[in-house]
Chains A and B, each alone.
Chain A
Amino acid sequence: MTELKLPSIDYAAISPILIMLGTALLGVLVEALVPRRWRHVVQLTLALLAVLAALTMVVLSADERIITAGQALAIDGPTLFLQGAILVLAAMALLLIGDRSVERGGAFVAQAAVTAESADDRRQAEGRNGLTEVYPLTTFAIGGMLIFVAANDLLTMFIALEVFSLPLYLLCALARRRRLLSQEAAMKYFLLGAYASAFFLFGVALIYGFTSGIPGRTAGVDFATIHAAVGESPASPVLLFAGMALLAIGLLFKAAAAPFHVWTPDVYQGAPTPVTGFMAACTKVAAFGALLRVFQVAFADANWDFTPVLGAVAVLTMLVGAVLAVTQTDIKRLLAYSSIANAGYLLVGVLAPSRDGLAGTMFYLVAYGFSVLAAFAVVTLVRDDDGEATHLSRWAGLGRRSPFFAALFTFILLAFAGIPLTSGFTSKFAIFGPALEGGQAWLVIAGVLTSMILAFPYLRVVVMMWLSEPGESTPTVTVPGGLTSAALMIGVLATLVLGVAPAPLLDLAAGAAEFVR
């Protein structure tokens, strides 16, 4: 027996992760010890402070490029950039989650165990204060995402996947209104997510098998070992291909890429809107962060093998998202399909194997996260007595009733459609440019063609809001409180600034765009 050696851990470098997970645990204690009426304020402050502290630590260690905790965590440029992105976007999402002025008591159910549609349920919907457990759940999820983008071996990645997925399943079930829809969404997400995790784990096992048997190396699932094994393993390549495919299924599920996207519209529609925004922004960043690392670090030398397959997935994703978005009549489902199409564009970036491609993908993730959170912030505001009015026909004439918010939403839709002077345009350019340079012209053509299809549903919403006459049932727009306003304005301003002056963030992304091996 060789003596067991403890790996050295650089605690400063992984402090953002520790801060978030620590705060989550603290949040559980707050639930137990702090009086009920203080909990909301304490929890929200705690969560926001933790995000701020973690962000500070990310900024402070901006030049860190190490692999620590054995081979488990890589703190390098992409990790820090994506961790920063997750934290900024999560702060915005927390503002939306914490808002109690738009809906009395917040967007979350008061008692998760209340039977849906019962008299008790109706009473809680009237305005009893929502659960405060959502804050520890959210902080756990953020912590998991921070590990996910830093994970340098497949097992750590799997654990991070579970750490951020389980709280999300729960959060999806906690909508105050339309509880059945919300619970159905959580159930679907959980069952399909469990399948996806199983696929991922099976893939890990196959890859482990593939790495064994190299003379002078021990088998393992850390990325350096896998990278070496791709070149020199004596094992059958079938193990590698099957393993890669199963891993990809697990990751593409989280990224909402076709054909693993089926959960997305249902979950996006059923989940409480702030949580939907959180998933659309932060989960996307985390999932693509992991995809980038797995395919550009571990399997970099197998890119001849996976590029055609992932390329096909990208085209399919763009097509499915764009075509099905056209037929949607619910704004949340429309945004869900649009997020699927955007996953397709992001995959184009993943397949551009250059520094520029990596930087472009990271830029896209940030830009899209800001816009999509702002979009969902507006969705929370358009409401009537029954909560949010998400059916598109109800948005007719909104431009007359509340021109300001309709104008903001129009701007975001134009950004999604990729009109210049918005971040939607610069981020498409940031991805398509390197892809074309990398010889993936067919992906760019597909991206352009689907952008055209996708412009139509966005435009339909604009037409609804501005060119249609207000109907009897056009809901009003609630004037948001400080928290939602702040999130909305940050999102809209970021969309504008990243469209007009993207250079600073591009510089930052370009400087960070190198993995350590």
Chain B
Amino acid sequence: MADLQDISNEKIRQEIEEFVENPDEIERNIETFARVRPLMQEIAAALIEGDDGTVDALTKQALEDKIDALEIMDDGLIAAMGVVGIKFRDNYIFVPEVLACARAMKAGMAYIEPILSASGVEPLATVIMGMVKGDLHDIGKNLCIMMLRGSGFNVVDLGVDTSDDEFIDAVEEHSAPILGMSALLTTTMPNMGKTIEAFIDADMRDDVKIMVGGAPVTQEFADDMGADAYGKDALECVAVAKGFLSVQA
């Protein structure tokens, strides 16, 4: 059985010592990190810190050192995300820190995705995601994006305050079959309907499935606006997106 001291990276040792309390989880994390290369531990430590720049640089270095892409993903990125999940569950960190870690993961995955593609592993589909015009409340959308990426979708994030033209241009540019729009305010929610109308005006409505979500949005609103589907949270967002694909297949 491995011991905490078998982990060479001090930051990882500290993280386990300080934040992992469940004995099974302590043992599992020690076993995991004790067997992985020091560079994978460094990547994991940077991801846990939410340091996307370091994850970027170290992932690049690892691939240049001919380390297997899946090893980087499993032993560096996902192993670290496991620790992040424990820290979040036990309230040591909160949503903003989790999203920073997700951004760091994306920085690493950006190097791995071309290798996946070259190996014949393609994303499920490209999804365009954005907050509607006038809306800056993006945390729900960011959680949806994290879930979609973690489920194998390629996501283009248009950010906040997105205009009709920006949505249309993105769908066109990326040939995306799915568009997700979110709004948190009753005052900005009608802009979803306007964007859907803009897609009809641009003669592109049949080219894209549109899902909508956000706290004040309901199935009734989604139907009124002419959206294809409504998702009440990030888990439903993934289910809806996968549902679109199975209908298309």
Q: Tell whether A and B belong to one assembly.
A: no
